[in-house]
Amino acid sequence: MVTLDTIRKDMEAQLELDNTVQSVVVNADTLDEALADAAVQLDSKVSSLEYEIIEKGSDGFLGLAKKPWSVRIYQTAEALAKKKKTMAGTGFDDEELEEEVQTVDKDGMFYVRHFGEDICLKVILPVGKGSHVDPKNIVSEAKRTDTLDIDEDRIKKFAKSGTDGKYEVIGSYKHVKAGDAMLVIDIQKDEMLATVTVTPPAMSGAEISAEQIVRNLETQGVVAGIENDKIEEFVDNPVYNVPCEVAAAVKPQDGRDAYIAFNFETDSSKLRIKETKNGQVNFKELNQIQNVVKGQPLATKMPPERGKAGKTLFGRYLEAKNGKDIRIPLGKNTEMDKDGVTIIASCNGRVVYEAERINVEPVLELDAVNIKTGNIDFLGTVIVKGNVEDGYDVRASGNIEVSGTVGQSHLKSENGDIIVSQGIFGHDVGVIQAGKSVWAKFIQSAKVEVEQFVIVSDSIMNSEVTAMKRIILNGKKAQITGGHLFATEEISAKNIGSPGGGAETILEVGFDPRLKQRLGDIQDEQNALMKELEETDNNIVTLENFKKQRRTLPKEKQDQLNGLKNRKQEITVKSEEYATEVEQILQRLHELKVFGKVKAQGTVFSGVKIYIRDVIDEVRADVKSVTFFFEGGFVRRGKYEDPDMTDVKAPDGYSTN
């Protein structure tokens, strides 16, 4: 049953909600612009706004006699209620959303003013550990010779609870209108600022209230920019006979121009040498290359902002400039992402910003690799026109091409070829690793590991070379002298070894070099484990004999015994794992279909050791124009066969001869 009391409560709730509704009067060229402007001022969505047309606008004729729209726009009570409910659901109130500030202790304050015929009181509560206002002080200030009555109970109440920023009536006085304060509102001609000048009241005259100032402003046509906080400050602490600001126009705010937010350093001079965690600096790591991968975001265009229109005190529209748009700096090997604002790399490489464009360069060209460049680590192809000097390394995801020589360096191509036009001087330190093949004039005292071919035109000397397919020397000299060479399919040269057998030369084919290497490593580790196991067993026996004699062991010795037994168990488990892995490797090597060949067009000198499938042929006398191959469990010798070049493709600009 709907009662009168129910209706009254509903009406009070609706009134409270309606009182929170804010509205603004907007003048704009179009209705849409007016709504957009109001959405900014009211901090709301356009869909949550309603409006009343005060004056309909017109486009005029050919731009002449153009008339702006005048619209009153406000948030609906429902929208405000929804916003309030949403805020309540988050568990935050307005105070929690404000920036946290340090609490400062502050005593309470009060103001006694005479408005009209009433004595009014405003009480501000203390902050922190500050003291409340003493009601006696309020009574003392409120009592004057013209005071008629004072409600001390209300004074005590307000002194304790405050007045919520308002002036509350606490009594009356004998009002003499002739002594009232007088005010003058002054508005600038450009309608941008309004001030109030107030004369002080005489005895028994009324002071100026905030409502009077606002009413006078509205009477003179001020509809925007009324500064209630400054008006209240003036009423609390009046300054007489001095113009005080009480209203200011809403100044237009020009929109921010569009700009590019870069995800990399655009100024190469700001790139810094890498430091270790302890602050040490490696001057070979100059950190001058900014690598990126395909699809990586490089920059984002931040769109221009719409200007926020202003208005004069009389509500006249003040146009704001919208932010300027800019061109998206797409360069080579870059593209836009699906969102239309993010620039991404369309290939791997280094990102650079040149001529106001973002470029991704898949090829890095250098005059040399030395102290000026530092070590190179690049996602792409590296072309070195000169030498890679001793002590400097090059790592690339693509090819590495060196027109000069390579010294005591580490070159590694993850997925490409390494081409060294002049040759490699490793000095027993240099390491060359390629995801595909290595092409060089010569290789001297270096370690080389490739996934496909090693193609050399002159010589391989005193080097350790491993190729998962073939090692082919196919030039005028084509000499292999000293070192240890591994290849799965074939090793081919003109001459192998040296007269008199001065340098040990070992060639191995017909197996997977990595598996063979792993097999050797495991066997070395197993030997070390067996020695450790023997020593561990001896120590266990010694401690257990000591325990039998004494029936017990000191805690330190007992812990040592337990540790030795645990270690013995670990060695046993590890040894079994190694045995299983060795068995698997031997099985894979046995199943390998390629038997492998070693070919020499010229001479294989005595002292050269040739292994095919673990079967050795140690050359005891020079042999010419020969092919070593595996048959019937033995290494056989046959006529020389030309090297197999069917699937060997020389890189651009490089010859196999």
**Closest alpha carbon to 612 in 640, 587, 634:** 634
Residues 152 and 184 in one domain: no
Reply yes or no on whether the pLDDT at 280 is more than 80. Answer: no
- Which of 248, 279, 295 is the last residue in one of the domains? 248
**CA-CA distance, 506 to 438, in Å (whole number)?**
20
**CA-CA distance, 516 to 487, in Å (whole number)?**
11
Confidence of residue 62 (pLDDT cuts 50, 70, 90): very low
- Over residues 559-584, the mean pLDDT reads 89
Reply yes or no on whether the pLDDT at 285 is more than 60. Answer: no
User: How does the average pLDDT of the chain come out, rounded?
Assistant: 85
Whether 646 maps to a domain, the answer reads no
Reply yes or no on whether the pLDDT at 11 is more than 80. Answer: no
Reply yes or no on whether the pLDDT at 83 is more than 80. Answer: no
Residue 511 contacts residue 488 (beta carbons within 8 Å): yes
Whether 5 maps to a domain, the answer reads no
Whether 6 maps to a domain, the answer reads no
Residues 304 and 449 in one domain: no
Compute CA distances 473 → 131, 431, 439, 601, 625, whole Å. Answer: 98, 19, 10, 10, 15
Residues 281 and 420 in one domain: no
pLDDT at residue number 519:
82
The phi, psi pair for 9, rounded to 5°, reads: -65, -40
Q: In the structure, how many helices (H) and strands (E) does the chain have?
A: 10, 42
Q: How many CB atoms lie within 10 A of CB 92?
A: 10
**Based on the structure, what is the number of domains in the chain?**
6
499: part of which helix (H) or strand (E)? none
What percent of the residues of the chain are helix, what percent strand, and what percent coil, each to the nearest 5? 25, 35, 40
The phi, psi pair for 596, rounded to 5°, reads: 90, 150
pLDDT at residue number 35:
74
**CA-CA distance, 376 to 370, in Å (whole number)?**
10
Q: How many CB atoms lie within 10 A of CB 119?
A: 25
Residues 242 and 134 in one domain: no
Residues 6+ positions from 224 with CB-CB distance below 8 Å: 24, 25, 249, 250, 311, 312, 313, 314, 315
pLDDT at residue number 631:
87
Question: What is the DSSP annotation of 164-184?
Answer: TTS-EEEEEE---GGG--EEE
Tokens at 76, concatenated: 């609906």
- Which of 77, 97, 117 is the last residue in one of the domains? 97
Residues 499 and 606 in one domain: yes
Residue 35 contacts residue 73 (beta carbons within 8 Å): yes
| Percent of the chain residues past pLDDT 90, beyond the cut | 55
Question: What is the DSSP annotation of 213-278?
Answer: HHHHHHHTT--S-B-HHHHHHHHHS--TTS-EEEEE-B--BPPPPPEEEESS-S-GGG----B-TT
Confidence of residue 485 (pLDDT cuts 50, 70, 90): very high
- Over residues 531-549, the mean pLDDT reads 87
**CA-CA distance, 359 to 345, in Å (whole number)?**
8
Residue 506 contacts residue 485 (beta carbons within 8 Å): yes
3-state class (DSSP) for residue 618: strand
Residues 6+ positions from 597 with CB-CB distance below 8 Å: 489, 490, 491, 492, 509, 612, 627, 628, 629, 641
pLDDT at residue number 63:
45
Tokens at 36, concatenated: 């957009």
Compute CA distances 587 → 63, 112, 590, whole Å. Answer: 91, 103, 5
Confidence of residue 655 (pLDDT cuts 50, 70, 90): very low
Residue 647 contacts residue 544 (beta carbons within 8 Å): no
- Over residues 195-202, the mean pLDDT reads 95
- Which of 205, 223, 248 is the last residue in one of the domains? 248
Sheet order of strands, 193-199 included:
182-187, 193-199, 244-248
The pLDDT tens digits for 575-604 are 888 888 888 877 776 666 667 899 999 999
**CA-CA distance, 471 to 490, in Å (whole number)?**
6
Strand duo 363-366 + 381-384: pairing: parallel
Region for 614 from its dihedrals, namely left if φ exceeds 0, alpha if ψ lies in -120 to 50, beta otherwise: left
Residues 533 and 443 in one domain: no
pLDDT at residue number 57:
72
The phi, psi pair for 306, rounded to 5°, reads: -75, 135
CA dihedral 415, 421, 427, 431 (to 10 degrees): 0
pLDDT at residue number 85:
55
Whether 391 maps to a domain, the answer reads no
Whether 102 maps to a domain, the answer reads no
Residue 627 contacts residue 638 (beta carbons within 8 Å): yes
pLDDT at residue number 436:
93
- Over residues 316-326, the mean pLDDT reads 90
HSE-CB at 264 with a 13 A cutoff on CA atoms is 24
Residues 403 and 457 in one domain: yes
Whether 447 maps to a domain, the answer reads yes
The letter for the amino acid at 135 is P
Whether 383 maps to a domain, the answer reads no
Q: Kindly tell me the sign of the dihedral angle through the C-alpha atoms of 546, 547, 548, 550.
A: positive
Residue 591 contacts residue 600 (beta carbons within 8 Å): no
Lowest mean pLDDT among 14-23, 199-208, 239-248, 514-523: 14-23
Compute CA distances 233 → 111, 229, 244, 313, 599, whole Å. Answer: 11, 6, 10, 20, 103
Q: Is 6 or 298 the better-scoring residue by pLDDT? A: 298
Query: Terminal CA-to-CA distance of the chain, rounded, Å?
Result: 107
Residues 560 and 478 in one domain: no
Q: How many CB atoms lie within 10 A of CB 206?
A: 20
Q: Report which DSSP code applies to 369.
A: B
**CA-CA distance, 619 to 597, in Å (whole number)?**
15
**CA-CA distance, 311 to 146, in Å (whole number)?**
45
pLDDT at residue number 30:
73
Q: Report which DSSP code applies to 486.
A: E
**CA-CA distance, 335 to 358, in Å (whole number)?**
10
26: part of which helix (H) or strand (E)? strand 23-28
Residues 508 and 418 in one domain: yes
Lowest mean pLDDT among 58-67, 149-158, 344-353: 58-67
pLDDT at residue number 64:
47
Residues 422 and 474 in one domain: yes
Q: Name all contacts of 559-567 with Cβ < 8 Å and 24+ positions apart.
A: 564/536, 564/539, 564/540, 565/540, 567/532, 567/536
Residues 413 and 508 in one domain: yes
Instruction: Give all strands (DSSP E) within 367-426, no chain letters.
Output: 376-378, 381-384, 394-396, 400-402, 405-406, 410-413, 418-420, 423-425
| Percent of the chain residues past pLDDT 70, beyond the cut | 84
Whether 347 maps to a domain, the answer reads yes
Q: Report which DSSP code applies to 356.
A: T
Residues 130 and 183 in one domain: no
**CA-CA distance, 315 to 191, in Å (whole number)?**
9
∠ CA 179-184-190 to the nearest 5 degrees?
A: 175
At which residue do the structure tokens 């990126």 appear?
Answer: 292
At which residue do the structure tokens 């209706």 appear?
Answer: 7
Predicted TM-score (pTM) of this structure: 0.57
Reply yes or no on whether the pLDDT at 387 is more than 60. Answer: yes
Lowest mean pLDDT among 43-52, 210-219, 553-562: 43-52
Range of the domain at 242: 178-248
CA dihedral 44, 45, 47, 49 (to 10 degrees): 20
